[in-house]
């Protein structure tokens, strides 16, 4: 197969309205089977800031209108937005939350990922009743978890005005 130019690759992804880019999606769209070629295409697009890496193997087009809630859904899948994030969305909590909390049944590790704000689109969001139950259970579990190192990390990495 002939080389794929970065501009043609981006044009094709936009044409197909691809929102999340993964190595398998690059393989399917461009008919490329060689893993090195796939990663070179991704590497070039990332180098020219045409795509933005969310986590290893998951990218979005730069300047795309993907909300932080959608990004959270891409980063941790399957999951839904819950706890303080959902309660703020429903207007239950008076303060604005700066983080998005996703809940999943899958075994996960905690990764701190900072995203910029954008407008809300259709996403999986727990309903109000489930958000309150999740939030209550999570706060009860905090008593049994050594939460202090996590809080210290967040406090030391806050952006100050």
Kindly state whether residue 161 falls inside one of the protein's structural domains.
no
For residues 17 and 77, what is the distance between their CA atoms, to the nearest angstrom?
Answer: 20
Domain housing 13: 6-61
pLDDT tens readout for residues 71-99: 888 887 887 787 777 777 788 777 766 77
- The answer on 113 and 91 residing in a single domain is yes
- The answer on 80 and 10 residing in a single domain is no
Contact 93, 139 (CB under 8 A): no
- The answer on 40 and 77 residing in a single domain is no
- The answer on 76 and 52 residing in a single domain is no
- The answer on 99 and 118 residing in a single domain is yes
pLDDT tens readout for residues 113-154: 444 433 334 445 556 777 667 667 666 665 555 556 656 655
- Residue 119: per-residue pLDDT: 35
The number of domains in the chain is 2
Cα dihedral value 47, 53, 58, 64, nearest 10: -100
- In degrees, rounded to 5, the angle at the alpha carbon of residue 47 between the alpha carbons of residues 41 and 48 is 95
């Amino acid at each position: 197969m002939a080389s794929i130019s970065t501009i043609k690759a981006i044009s094709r992804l936009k044409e197909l309205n691809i929102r999340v880019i993964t190595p398998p999606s690059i393989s399917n769209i461009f008919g490329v089977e060689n893993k090195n070629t796939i990663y070179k295409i991704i590497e070039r697009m990332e180098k020219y800031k045409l795509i933005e890496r969310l986590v290893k193997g998951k990218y979005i087009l730069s300047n795309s209108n993907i909300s932080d809630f959608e990004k959270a859904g891409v980063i941790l899948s399957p999951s839904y937005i819950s706890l303080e994030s959902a309660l703020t969305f429903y207007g239950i909590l008076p303060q604005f939350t700066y983080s998005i909390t996703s809940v999943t049944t899958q075994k996960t590790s905690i990764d701190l990922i900072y995203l910029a704000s954008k407008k809300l689109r259709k996403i999986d969001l727990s309903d109000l009743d489930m958000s309150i139950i999740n939030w209550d259970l999570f706060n009860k579990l905090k008593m049994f978890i050594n939460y202090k190192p996590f809080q210290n990390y967040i406090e030391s990495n806050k952006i100050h005005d």
